[in-house]
Amino acid sequence: MRRPAPRTLSIVALAATMLSVGAAAPPSVASPPAKTPAKGHPHTPAKSPVAVGHGGAVASVDRDASAAGIEVLRRGGNAVDAAVATAAALGVTEPYSAGIGGGGYFVYYDARSRTVHTVDGRETAPKSADATLFQEDGKPIPFAEGQTSGLGVGTPGTPATWDRALDSWGSMPLKRLLEPAQRLAKDGFTVDETFRTQTASNEARFADFPATADLFLPGGELPVVGSVFKNPDLARTYAELGRHGTEALYRGDLARDIVRTVRKPPVGPDATRKVRPGDLTTGDLAAYRTKRQEPTKVSYRGLDVYGMAPSSSGGTSVGEALNILERTDLSRASQEKYLHRFIEASRIAFADRGRWVGDPAFEDVPTKGLLSQRFADSRECLIKDDVALKSPLAPGDPSDPTACAAGGTAAPTTYEGENTTHLTAADKWGNVVAYTLTIESTGGSGITVPGRGFLLNNELTDFSFAAANPAVHDPNLPGPGKRPRSSISPTIVLDDRDRPVLALGSPGGATIITTVLQTLTGHLDRGLPLVDAIAAPRASQRNSATTELEPGLYDSPVRAELEALGHAFTRNPEIGAATGVQRLPDGRWVAAAEKVRRGGGSAMVVHPAGRP
């Protein structure tokens, strides 16, 4: 394993904070009560949405997971090491959102070279898959039958992502980095309300699979808030990965256990659910590879914004929307104008995403064109200050950026599961990681690999089940070994000297793109501190007839002002759950997470020092 010797850099964030005129600051919200530390973790710090200090930082949705990353940083590990340790711990405490049965996207800033790198660890379809994977008799099967099935399970990419990141930039062996998570799985963590609620929402699904029920519904009952939840099977699985490396998941007994579970889902004798088998093979697992690829990049307000290139649509969509917004002074706009422009830029970006973005190994994805300022300008002129655009909006053509073109056929936004998770980490040398990982739906496929302690993903349901319009090519239909399109948007922002300003990301399915975009503009344009930009009430427009609003916006006067322009809204109680880190001009790190969403997130630094 290559062990880089990073050197300390003097990193400066934004020189001045932009003033916000007419922007409504988010309400002051107290941090939720901390969970009682689980056995074996009596010194875990209380949960807090913001922390400031030196020596590195970690932010995630979970206190125990963030503590695992901080433990590694205190041992001398770097940001990549901390990210892997945090991700492994999230596989224990957030098993319905992430784990070694899923995949994700890893974005890394290397302080020595001042460059950004990415790893595409997205799941892949079996080699036998074709465009009719989710069809029967020429028609799409019900979504629920793809969601809870072996059919929706793709080859996991998370363990291979850890291996690729550590081999490229890490400084500690995987065995050592898995120790905090292995301990957490063995000794247990304290159940909170979010974990219980997510279990309850999956109770009927989980009950149909004995291995899942035994783990998450012991004795046929929901876990009790405040009780200790243990996962000894996962502790043993992590120990096996530590001894033999992540290759153990792609070859050998563990690989065979995964394939057996997918091809013959272990359904209980009393289950009436139709659970379709999948066609994953040991050959599919053995052939899996992550992809090192160039990040997306756009310039915004004199900063460089880096993101994840296809197969994710996150980098192209966030980048295109920022290019569209570049011409508007959002720092001086009223809240109504700011939200109007943000909604319209999101609508346009999703219109273009649906037509053009898929797995570039199979599709001709015009990434450069989607990110060009010329194309953004040709789309920006569609936006009018006195009237809202109508959805579904037709896509533009990046190869022929005709100003204000509005013809063609719209492509609908496919469903993506919302309960992904995101972590952000930084170290004392200035390296930064933004890493989003997922198993797709809350609880993934609902199928636990017997004796192994983890749920399998249902990521293949991110594919289009059928083309919405047979006359128009859909770049997101299934194919052999193909990666389904994602909205995951881990993002790193650098200044004009290629030094980190901030990094962030979020779960939330297709709402990830709008959450990252709104947080970026809230902080960079509206002048909100990062933790408040994360906490601000959200809107999400994805080229649909209505825009989703959280209660803080839905119940505010600005909704009526936007409705007067022709916008239509639906209420969404919660959108996303972001985390981020920021480098202050004096060299301290700010770690930031949610104040309330998902019970509040956990921000930690190695050496706390002062306030932001």
Residue numbers annotated as active site: 420
- DSSP letter for 573, please: S
- Can you list the alpha helix ranges (DSSP code H) found in 10-131? 63-74, 79-93
In 386-526 the beta strands, taken as DSSP E runs, fall at 421-427, 432-438, 491-494, 500-505
Q: Tell me the C-alpha distance between 374 and 352, whole Å.
A: 14
Q: Is the peptide bond before 392 cis (omega within 30 degrees of 0)?
A: yes
**CB–CB of 576/598 below 8 Å?**
no
What sign does the CA torsion over 18, 19, 22, 25 have?
A: positive
Token readout for 292 is: 């090192």
Token readout for 565 is: 């322009």
- The CA angle 90-94-95, to the nearest 5 degrees, is 100
Which amino acid, one-letter code, is at 461? T
SS (H, E, C) 485-522: CECCCCEEEECCCCCEEEEEECCCCCHHHHHHHHHHHH
- DSSP letter for 99, please: -
**CB–CB of 582/589 below 8 Å?**
yes
Of the candidates 350, 354, 330, 349, the one whose C-alpha atom is nearest the C-alpha of residue 340 is 330
Cβ neighbors of 136 (< 8 A, separation 6 or more) are none
Token readout for 510 is: 């297709």
Which amino acid, one-letter code, is at 76? G
